[in-house]
Amino acid sequence: MKVTRTKANYKAQALSKYQGNPLVEALPSSLTESEFTELMYVFKHFPDCFNALSRIDVNDCLDDLKLVHIPTKEAYQLYENVYAQMRKCYVKRNPLDADTRRLANSISTRLKANCKFDVEQPCEHVATAPSILVSGKAGIGKTVLIRRILSTFPQVIKHTEYRGQVFETQQVVWMSFDMQASRSRKALAHNFFNELERVVGCEIKGDFVKSRDSIDQLFHAMQTAAVVYNIGLIHIDEAQFVLNPSSNFKDAPTLPEIETLFNKIGVPVIISTTDDALATFKSTENEALTKATKLQTVRRLNSVAHIKIKQWHADTSKFDEFFSAYFQPSIFENSEVNSNEFKLQLLVLCAGVTDAISVLSIAFIRNYHSLSEKGKKLDCLKLLKQVYQTRMEIWHAPLSKLRKDYNVLSPKKKANRSTDSNMNVAQLYSEAEAFTPKPARKRTSEHHLKPAQSVERINEGDEMIDADSIVASYENE
């Protein structure tokens, strides 16, 4: 992900508590909902000469569809929270304030003194910063959404002078890193410093970390670096790996540790995780596994907001926009594709999961275009199912699991639907499940809570199916 760097451009603040703080004044002005929504939309329109393009060019255009983004209402909620928390926390960490210097000194003293990292030990002068929890099904687009929102802020702001005084500093507005790659505490620390080095663009790890540092020192070093580089917000992705640690994952950092790492020095955290990981808190399992009481963990997880990213549902204007962004009128005008049945089938097959819809739609369009070129008359629904069966073979099991709890119709509009349409929908579900192979043997311990490692993830890998083979099989029908 490219790092955006800008020079500080200080803006007058209406509220007096934000005045005189270069870190707040340098933040971009907040966006209204309409400005934000306009900024978030990403369409990839096919060129007018799409039908005349070579096969490679067509595939290229179709690949670009992966970048399509339609913001939902949760996006602005999250943006508002991010903006408000970032600004609020910078107020407590004004680098020109005496208290911030004292905070930095006390943290760095602990770093030099080889103190033990104590999750309960309060950090001087700064109140605990908040956490924003973002949850949703795997592949629903949480990471993309959060990173797109964070991208509305420059990642690094370079200050040189503030109010006539030299103020030569870099402000790292946000950082995002993945817990999947941080399976141990040490890995987390090195992951953090590698990302910070990438963002600031120079080698800084040596200033904070020695080769044989203990975990305690690494955590103190992360805190010091967060203060020195004025980090505004940290996004921790794939947090299920710390929320739901397994016995094979003993050295994983715990949530209280992560919270202490950043929140206690006033850096707000966005934690994004799958719904499955949150199920831990509903169970009555032994609390010792999570290394903190559940109430404590839940309180820390979402001290500001819990934003749930929902699956797509039919009959919503946002899904229609999303659908039109893929199935563009230039190719699909007056096509069966625009029927409600096709949309419902697409949603049911993909269980409303963004990534699955994207992969299936792109594979479908590739085949549709290829067959159309040969002058075939197409049964779009049949083609969709066939493409699903071939292209989504490894996706099927996790999607099938999701489908059990997924209602393709928008919950708000469901009441208005006729019994007939509900019956049709039921049929679509059973058609989708028709691809499920019979289990070789019965699985046991279904009720057993799965550890983080085995939380099922939808493979987001590249296309592996040769489009020609699908076309060939269609022709044989």
Partner 1 sequence: MHQVPTPLPDEHAVSIIYRWFQMTRFETLESFIQVNGCSSKLNSPRRLWCPLYSELAHALLSKYSLADFISKFTNIHDYSLFLDESAFQGLSIETILKKLSTFKFSNALNVLQDKYWRYCPECANEDEQKYGTTYLHVEHQCLYKRVCNKHSVLLEELASCHVSLPPSNNLSILASQSDIEKDVALLGWVSELTDTPPEERKLRVLNLLRQKACVYSYDRKNPYQVQRVQYMQNILAKRFNSSVYKRYFDWGKLTSGHYPLNSSGGLMHFLEPEKHFHPMFYLMLIDLFLTRDEFNLSLEFLLNTSNIRREIPPVVLPLDIRELVKASAA
Sequence-distant (≥ 6) Cβ neighbours of residue 281 within 8 angstroms: 294, 297, 298
**From the CB of 210, what's the least distance to partner 1, in Å?**
6
Least separation in angstroms between CB 167 and partner 1: 5
Tokens of 354: 């963004």
> In the window 159-178, what residues touch partner 1 (CB under 8 A)?
160-161, 165-170
SS3 content of the chain, % helix, strand, coil (to 5): 50, 10, 40
Strands 156-162 and 165-172: antiparallel
Touching partner 1, residues 408-427 (CB under 8 A): none
CA-closest candidate to residue 135, choices 64, 28, 239:
239
Sites for partner 1 among residues 56-115 (CB under 8 A): 95-102, 104-105, 108, 111-112
- Shortest reach from residue 130's CB to partner 1, in Å: 24
**x/- map, 111-140, partner 1, by CB under 8 A:** xx----------------------------
Nearer to partner 1, 91 or 104 (CB): 104
Q: How many Cα atoms are found within 13 Å in the side-chain-facing hemisphere of 418?
A: 3
Query: What is the Cα–Cα distance from 243 to 189, expressed in whole angstroms?
Result: 18
In the complex, minimum distance from the CB of residue 151 to partner 1, in angstroms, rounded to a whole number: 23
Q: Does 221 bind partner 1 (CB under 8 A)?
A: yes
Interacting residue with partner 1 among 60, 207, 466, 468 (CB under 8 A): 207
For residues 382 and 263, give the distance between their C-alpha atoms in angstroms, rounded to a whole number. Answer: 52
Least distance from C-beta 212 to partner 1, angstroms? 11
Please, are residues 221 and 196 in contact by the beta-carbon 8 Å criterion? no
- Shortest CB 111 distance to partner 1, Å: 6
Cα angle for residues 335, 341, 342 (degrees, 5° grid): 50
- Among the listed residues 362, 352, 369, the one whose alpha carbon sits nearest the alpha carbon of residue 432: 352
Nearest residue (CB) to partner 1, 10 versus 281: 10
Give the residue with the Cβ less far from partner 1, 157 or 357: 157
Q: Which of 17, 45, 163, 210 binds partner 1 (CB under 8 A)?
A: 210
CB of 234 to partner 1, least distance (A): 17
- Tell me: does residue 208 bind partner 1 (CB under 8 A): yes
- Considering beta carbons, is residue 152 or 170 the nearer one to partner 1? 170
CB of 190 to partner 1, least distance (A): 14
Q: Cβ(358)–Cβ(65) under 8 Å?
A: yes
- Amino acid sitting at position 294: K
Output the CA–CA distances (angstroms, integers) from residue 321 to 138, 175, 244, 453, 462, in the order listed: 22, 30, 36, 35, 25
Number of chain residues interacting with partner 1 (CB under 8 A): 36
CA atoms of 293 and 299, how far apart (whole Å) = 10
Chain positions contacting partner 1, by CB under 8 A: 95-102, 104-105, 108, 111-112, 160-161, 165-170, 200, 202, 204, 206-210, 213, 217, 221, 224, 227-229
